[in-house]
Amino acid sequence: MSSLAPTVHAGLPLAVLERAAAVRLACFDVDGVLTDGRLWYGADGEALKAFHVHDGLGLRRLMGAGVQVAVVTARSSGIVSARMRDLGITRVHQGVDDKLACVSAIAQSLGLALRQVAFIGDDLPDRDAMRAVGFAIAVANAGSGIRDVAHWCSTASGGAGAVREICELLMAASVPAERAMDGGAAAGAT
């Protein structure tokens, strides 16, 4: 087991770990999840965003662990396109009014059931998708209406390491499932 797993697993209910272990597709909102939710406007009126480098590494590692990653956001931004391109994320859906329909279509295209999907959100436009998936996750600074529908909330806020924390949970939770499938052959793996 990875040295990461004990810190991520510590104190989490079994139901949360089971939901995390089932995830094969993680869908992330952008504003308030991958960013801190603030929009900075440049002199030409372009909205600027800041992304946390630790979150980027978490996303790359999650994809490397075999979990599909998608971005589903209501806003459209060239900055988001550029950042996702840098990270190698190809499922980037911007300007989405119906996030549940979008997430359902992505899952269907991958042959996955919604119970195998995580949606990570922070505000009301995320609620319907969060209610429908197998693992609904809210970042620490999410609105109360979102925390109420989440199966789990990160301890870090959006744009401040929440995505890294979520990626680590998803990766660590999948270790027992992998061991069960291969009869324990991975016991010595780190």
Confidence tier at 12 by pLDDT (50, 70, 90): confident
Question: Tell me, what's the pLDDT at 175?
Answer: 60
Burial (CB count within 10 angstroms: exposed 0-12, middle 13-18, buried 19+), residue 149: middle
pLDDT of the residue at 10: 61
Q: Tens digits of per-residue pLDDT, 126-175?
A: 999 999 999 999 999 999 899 999 999 999 999 999 999 999 999 998 86
Let me know the angle formed at the C-alpha of 132 by 34 and 164, rounded to the nearest 5 degrees.
Answer: 25
Q: For residue range 94-116, what is the model confidence (pLDDT) as tens digits?
A: 999 999 999 999 999 999 999 99
pLDDT band at 46 (very low <50, low <70, confident <90, very high): confident
65 membership: H or E segment, kind and range: none
Q: What are phi and psi of 172, to 5 degrees?
A: -65, -35
Strands 47-48, 40-41: pairing is antiparallel
Cβ atoms within 10 Å of 122's Cβ, excluding its own: 28
pLDDT greater than 90 at residue 1: no
pLDDT at 6 over 70: no
Nearest 5°: CA angle at 90, between 142 and 145? 15
| pLDDT (0 to 100) of residue 176 | 46
- pTM beyond 0.95: the answer is no
Instruction: Round the average pLDDT of the chain to a whole number and report it.
Output: 88
Answer for the pair 173, 9: CB distance below 8 angstroms, yes or no: yes
Predicted confidence (pLDDT) at residue 186 exceeds the cutoff of 80 = no
Query: Does residue 56 surpass a pLDDT of 80?
Result: yes
Looking at per-residue pLDDT, the higher value among 189 and 165 belongs to 165
pLDDT at position 64: 95
